[in-house]
Chain A
């Protein structure tokens, strides 16, 4: 088989599996103070930022990699990774999209991420992150008019140091767990969003992550601040080329909602999941945490997890402000040899706080899926409520589905309700669909989509369609 044919075959399975041949600047291999200084230097960061990184690195050296998770993986050699990789043409930042390396534009076009003019129709502002750097942000002018800041975080460090200094590390401190601390030390880029008081962001903001270079870890950092009474909806998508080795992705996402503000954060995660025998794929070890700092604030996480060899993340809400609301909607699908250990944490600290968790897990092939969640109502969180529902669907007898909720109630005026079920698609349902002319695969797709509907509904329109298709594709070949 010639190479071209091979490539075409590969693309059938994972259509984002191509890699772009682009010249890169890389930091020396390995992790040490010099590499961190190199990253900080190349980004022309102020001294306080370097200090922040070094403090995290100091702490990182005494931390041990956690091992309590369900999916086990071979030890990662942190000295064998590149911590910075950037397209060469980005060294002197292009002033506008026209100056961008055409190869980069082509890559994003292939991915279906419109960075150029014609994409304006879609009305989504995109920040695209390629390996370690943010390459383009669209719709900047329109957003600036309203006072909204939407830019790469490295730019924000230069232009809005007061905001970054105040909020960076306030939800995920440098003294957090292993992967979060690693990110604090070496993060390269990511998005920064600030919505000023009383502004309702007129369009969806979106970041698109792409890992291209091999042997690189991607460590991006996202910081979203919604000031009093503001609203923002933020989308995140990700893909990576197909490679035989496992690649590490350890991002940190911090959300801060002040009084009466609302943040809606949606993710469609479609990193390369590895091939049918479980070779290759991304390790997706992400720390996502939202702080409902002010009264009546609301943070809502929606995630569709279909990619990655191992997904290990718990988007969390800290409900500190009185009357604040936290929501978590999740669909996680694992097929072949994928593994997922995901869920959420709802920490109730303020009075009258509410949280809702809807989690749908589907495992097929030889995959393994765990829902792990924490609901913690502290003794001061009077009159708080939580509702949790986690359902799992199993397809085939080689996969596993597990539910591990931790429920802590320290307040007698608060209520917690938790439900979980595990089952398979019933023969009756399948029979009913097939009787009406659907083939088994379509029937399963239909039933699974129905199973997931509650979560899919939470996604913004454009994403919901994509996600629905993704659900179908991810399960291909798992029937029969």
Chain B
């Protein structure tokens, strides 16, 4: 793999106009990655999902060079109907379109940051890979006091014209004071067996509101890793919803730093898996100052030899008195071969806090099925009704009604 990395790296550097210093940094990241390789199960955070092994078994040898000089045709049929929205379109890892047609132009700034590499704290070798190979990186700045009128949808599309086996994406967002953004990540893959490595960085200033909905719904054979870093200022709110369903393997990491007082973070997620899929959500909520709040709810329905992993950590610094942290994960195992692993973790250094977590996993309740069947439903209907209700609980946590309905329609959940 080393030769391949080196060769592809040299190719991609050639097409970029970078200063010597930036090339040095990228080289350094590449060397780091070559040194560490893909994360494997010996690393605590990857205990339940050995990415190295998964890539080996599903893709084999990776290639990393993407020729991004020519444009791809934007397929408008993938766009969401019935909801007016702003768009960012990625096709095979290349940004094809950034379109804020519904917004005031002077309130949003798009800054090309391709030349600056910012390190993520609390990261792994995949961030090195990302640093080495991302060739375009934009920062979207929402200016003070501006609240986007329409949601922003990021379309992440891959198709058969893809160059290599690995795509690295990066986007930075800054939400200035009193601003707000609703963001939907939509994945649409027709390519087969690629490794997508996505890093987002959010910076929320005082009173900013971020609502991020990550929807991986469509069946595909890709392997995805997505890392969200969220830094929150005073009084800010972040809401993250994850629908984890389509890809063959997917790991979503949310790292949330509550730096300002009264900041709050919400992470809600659904795993709906079948057919040998293996998905993971790992969340780290760092309560770093007083009076911060976090709430997490993860529910899984696992069928046909699928496997879901939830690793959630609540960290409370010794300054972070009056913290309120809550975390709950529940799983229904429908199939004998399916598996649910959880590691809900608390690390607490302050005494005046209220932190709790719960985790439960098991089969569908036979008594509930019996109850429904005795009222005339078939076995299949009762099962569906129970699962529907089980998942609806999480979808109802979405605070934006427009998007809630959109997501409900997407996964076919009835009220």
List chain A positions with a Cβ less than 8 A from chain B: 68, 379, 392, 394-424
How far apart sit A416 and B358, CA to CA, in the bound complex (Å)?
A: 10
By a beta-carbon cutoff of 8 Å, the part of chain B in contact with chain A is 44, 318, 321, 331, 333-363
Q: Across the interface, which residues of B come within 8 angstroms of A419, CB to CB?
A: 356-358
Q: Are A412 and B333 also in contact (CB < 8 A) when A400-B349, A401-B346 are?
A: yes
**Are B358 and A395 in contact, with the CB atoms below 8 A?**
no
Do A420 and B363 touch across chains, with their CB atoms under 8 A apart? no
Per the bound structure, the CA–CA distance linking A411 and B333 in Å amounts to 8
Question: In the complex, what distance in Å separates the CA atom of A407 from the CA atom of B333?
Answer: 14
Chain A's closest residue to B359 (CB) is A418
B315 to chain A, nearest CB (A): 9
**Is B363 touching A413 in the complex (CB atoms < 8 A)?**
yes
Which residues on A sit within 8 Å (CB–CB) of B348? 392, 394, 400-402, 422
Are B321 and A418 touching (Cβ within 8 A)?
Answer: no
Inter-chain contact A403/B346, CB cutoff 8 Å? yes
Contact of A403 among B333, B342, B345 (CB under 8 A): B345
Residues A423 and B347 in contact, CB atoms below 8 Å apart:
no
Interface centre among B318, B354, B362 (most CB of A within 10 A): B362
In contact, B338 and A412 (Cβ under 8 angstroms): yes
The reply to whether B345 and A404 contact each other, CB–CB distance below 8 Å, is yes
- Minimum CB distance partner of A410 in chain B: B339
Query: From A374, which residue of chain B is reached at the shortest CB distance?
Result: B343
Contact A421 to B363, CB < 8 A, known contacts A400-B347, A402-B348, A404-B343 = no
B331 A409 Cβ-Cβ under 8 A: yes
What's the least CB distance linking A426 to chain B, in Å? 10
CB contacts (< 8 Å) of B354 on chain A: these are 422-423
Partner of B360, one of A68, A404, A417, A422: A417
- A418/B344 in contact, CB under 8 A: yes
**Cα distance A194–B384 in the bound complex, in angstroms:** 54
Q: A397-B321, A420-B344 are known contacts. Are A407 and B359 too (CB-CB below 8 A)? A: yes
With A401-B346, A416-B362, A419-B356 in contact, do A411 and B44 touch (Cβ < 8 Å)?
no
Q: How near does chain A come to B245, taking the closest CB pair, in angstroms?
A: 19
* Cα distance A208–B113 in the bound complex, in angstroms: 68
CA distance A422 to B360 in the complex (A): 18
Q: Which residues of A contact B344 (CB under 8 A)?
A: 403, 405, 407, 418, 420
Residues on B with C-beta less than 8 A from A413 are 336, 363
Cβ distance B146 to chain A, nearest Cβ, rounded Å: 39
**Whole-angstrom CA separation of A398 from B350 in the bound complex:** 7
Which residues on the B side are within 8 Å of A379 (C-beta)?
336-337
Contact A424 B352 (CB under 8 A): yes
* Contact between B353 and A412, CB atoms less than 8 A apart: no
Partner of A407, one of B336, B342, B349: B342
- For residue A404, which residue of chain B has the nearest CB? B345
Beyond A379-B336, A418-B357, 4 additional pairs, beta carbon < 8 A: A397-B351, A401-B346, A407-B341, A422-B346
Contact of A397 among B318, B339, B343, B359 (CB under 8 A): B318
Pick the residue among A394, A404, A409 that contacts B351 (CB under 8 A). Answer: A394
Q: Is the beta-carbon distance between A423 and B361 smaller than 8 angstroms?
A: no
Give bound CA distance, A420 to B301, whole Å.
Answer: 23
The 5 closest A-B pairs by CB, nearest first: A415-B362, A412-B333, A394-B351, A403-B346, A421-B356
Chain B residue nearest to A403 in the complex (CB)? B346
CA distance A419 to B337 in the complex (A): 25
Contact yes or no, A420 B358, CB < 8 A: yes
Query: Can you offer 15 A-B residue contacts whose CB atoms are under 8 A?
Result: A379-B336, A394-B348, A402-B348, A403-B345, A407-B342, A409-B331, A412-B333, A412-B334, A413-B363, A414-B363, A416-B361, A417-B360, A418-B359, A420-B358, A422-B355
- In the complex, which residues of chain B have a beta carbon less than 8 angstroms from the beta carbon of A416? 359-362
Closest B residue to A383 by CB, please name it: B363
| Candidates B318, B334, B343, B355; contact of A405 at CB < 8 Å | B343
Chain B residue with the shortest CB-CB distance to A390: B346
CA distance A413 to B358 in the complex (A): 20
Q: CB distance B331 to A68 under 8 Å?
A: no
Cβ contact of B343, chosen from A68, A395, A406, A424, cutoff 8 A: A406
Q: Beyond A407-B341, A412-B338, is A397–B349 a contact (Cβ under 8 Å)?
A: yes
Complex interface: chain B residues within 8 A of A405 (CB): 342-345, 359
Residue of A nearest to B336 (CB): A412
